[in-house]
Amino acid sequence: MDKDGKYLKRGVDYPIIQGKRTLPGKYYHDEKIYQQELEKIYYKFWIYACRAEEIPSSGDFKLIQVGDESIILVRDKSMKINALFNVCRHRGTQLCTEPKGNFSSKSILCPYHAWAYELDGKLLGAPLMKEENGFHKDNFTLHKAHVHEWEGFLFISLATTPEPFEVQMEALMGKFSEWNMAELRIAHHIRYELNCNWKLILQNYQECYHCPGVHPLLSQLTPFQSAQHDSSKGAVIGGFMELTKERGSMTMDGEAAAPPVYDVSGDDLQRVYYYSVFPNMLLTPHPDFVMYHHITPLGTGKIVNDCYWLFHPEIINDKQAQKGIISAVEFWDLTNKQDWTVCEQMQTGTKSMRFDRGYYSGREDILYALDQELLKALGHDNPEEDGE
């Protein structure tokens, strides 16, 4: 740091944000805080679940784990998507254990006492149960979560009365419509199991202060100084970075992996967008494809991060176009692993008795905004204000 309060790195000045400090280390390790995050965020907010294309036919299902809750996302006979709590109304047995599949019988059968449910959750049959003494089948429908589809992405809310999706996700409304993402299809998927807190992944994603040292190849393709945020508050924040190569993309050689997606044009042909959809999704539209992450917390210091690449169906089905897809996947797999290494190191370091709190640089202002969203959701006082 110089005498003017600037942090120097590789010849570039990053002014410290006046008075803006990081969260205390306990926010990455404290079990009580983690339980509050589940109850006040993951059990209340709209959260990303899966792509609609993953359950295309009647009877298709996918299990979604949200903290201690298991949700069955399933298409019923009318092709409507339902989100059913994976709990039998008889004695609480978990109904389904397979991560995905198809209910070929077009019903959900409890493995314990054979209570049977329709794909919309209605109780079909309960062996030897008589409709008397307070038991009536119509009163024992499976409990439901709320479902909303946006651009082919399925979101769920476990809240009894959630905030309208359009309110929580206001910054997404009308954004990226040129990509026509509902028509894109999954070309590749990699599952990463990481030993770090879920918030560290969101923070890492929203700043490129670390890029020169951690991502030398990425820094060649998109200069970190070009990063701009165009949405900096609420549950959806993010911005873009400029591509160095004209009509290029984020691939191993910097060349486009495919032609521009649908109606992408103008400035968007030279930009890569990075949007955090709080709390569990990272969305990265490129001119030629879309990458996204689905984050599933498994405790204070463990997550599963599922990374997907979406391409135009014609590109996926074109054997000659596979080279571009592979190059995009290889680039981001390399970059992801570089990020995961430093995130896991930060998880370990912030547990030290000597770590208190750090200061954000001028390149990390959006991380402070993420912190404020978290504190607001938890109902916690700002540590800046209570002197912590």
pLDDT in tens, 223-254: 877 778 787 778 999 999 999 999 999 999 99
Last residue of a domain, one of 162, 192, 220: 162
pLDDT of amino acid 190: 98
Indicate if 326 and 349 belong to the same structural domain.
Answer: yes
106 and 217 within one domain: no
Assign residue 301 the CATH number of its domain: 3.90.380.10
In sequence order, which residues have a C-beta less than 8 Å from that of residue 265 and are 6 or more positions away? 178
Residue 331 pLDDT class (50, 70, 90 cuts)? very high
Q: Is the pLDDT of residue 12 over 50?
A: no
For residue 58, pLDDT over 60 is answered with yes
* Whether residue 311 is found in the same domain as residue 369: yes
Q: What's the domain count of the chain? A: 2
Residue 336's pLDDT band (boundaries 50, 70, 90)?
A: very high
Domain CATH number, residue 150:
2.102.10.10
* 167 assigned to some structural domain: no
Same-domain pairing of 296 and 313: yes
Shared-domain flag, residues 18 and 79: no
In a domain, 264, yes or no: yes
Same domain, 190 and 298: yes
Instruction: Assess if residue 243 is contained within a domain.
Output: yes
Rounded to the nearest 10 degrees, how much is the dihedral formed by the CA atoms of 80, 285, 293, 168?
-60
- Each residue of 120-177: pLDDT tens digit? 999 999 999 988 778 899 999 999 999 999 999 999 999 999 999 999 999 999 999 9
pLDDT band at 19 (very low <50, low <70, confident <90, very high): low
Highest mean pLDDT among 2-6, 10-14, 280-284: 280-284
Work out the mean pLDDT of the chain and round it to a whole number: 92
**Is the separation of the CB atoms in 308 and 181 below 8 Å?**
no
Print burial letters for 130-163: b (CB count within 10 Å at least 16), e (below 16). eeeeeeeeeebebeebebbebbbbbbbbbeeebe
**Residues 22 and 110 both lie in one domain:** no
Residues 316 and 249 in one domain: yes
Q: Which of 138, 162, 186 is the last residue of a domain?
A: 162
User: Which residues are CB-neighbours of 296 under 8 A, at least 6 positions away?
Assistant: 65, 280, 303, 304, 305, 306
pLDDT at residue 219 is higher than 70: yes
> At a CB cut-off of 8 Å and minimum separation 6, what does 80 contact?
120
Separation between Cα atoms, residue 236 and residue 172, nearest integer Å: 7
Q: Is residue 388 part of a domain?
A: no
pLDDT of 306 > 60? The answer is: yes
Q: Determine the pLDDT at residue 131.
A: 84
Residue 35 shares a structural domain with residue 60: no
* pLDDT score of 23 more than 70: yes
Mean pLDDT (whole number) for 48-54 = 98
Task: Using pLDDT thresholds of 50, 70 and 90, give the confidence band for residue 383.
Answer: confident
Helices and strands in the chain: count of H runs, count of E runs:
9, 20
Are 92 and 34 within one domain?
no
Please say which residue of 162, 193, 220 terminates a domain: 162
Query: For 258-277, what is the mean pLDDT?
Result: 96
What is the spatial distance between Cα 88 and Cα 338, in angstroms, rounded to a whole number? Answer: 43
Res 108 pLDDT > 50:
yes
Percentage with pLDDT > 90 across the chain: 82
Token representation of residue 34: 């983690």
Question: Does the residue 234 lie in any domain?
Answer: yes
In a domain, 1, yes or no: no
Question: Quick check: 16 pLDDT over 60?
Answer: no
pLDDT value at residue 366 = 86
Range of the domain at 347: 6-39+173-383
Per-residue pLDDT at 228: 81
For residue 2, pLDDT beyond 60: no
Check whether residue 195 and residue 288 sit in a common domain: yes
- Confirm if 254 and 244 have CB atoms less than 8 A apart: yes
> Does residue 295 belong to any structural domain of this protein?
yes
- pLDDT at residue 225, as a whole number: 78
CA atoms within 13 A on the CB side of 49: 37
Instruction: Examine the domain organization and report whether 154 and 246 are in the same domain.
Output: no
The reported pLDDT for the residue numbered 11 is 34
Coil, strand or helix: which one is 131?
A: coil
- Supply the DSSP symbol for 356: -
Q: How confident is the model at residue 83 (pLDDT cuts 50, 70, 90)?
A: very high
Distance between CA atoms of residues 65 and 158, nearest Å: 12
Note whether residue 168 is domain-resident: no
Question: Residue 167, Cβ neighbours under 10 Å: how many?
Answer: 12
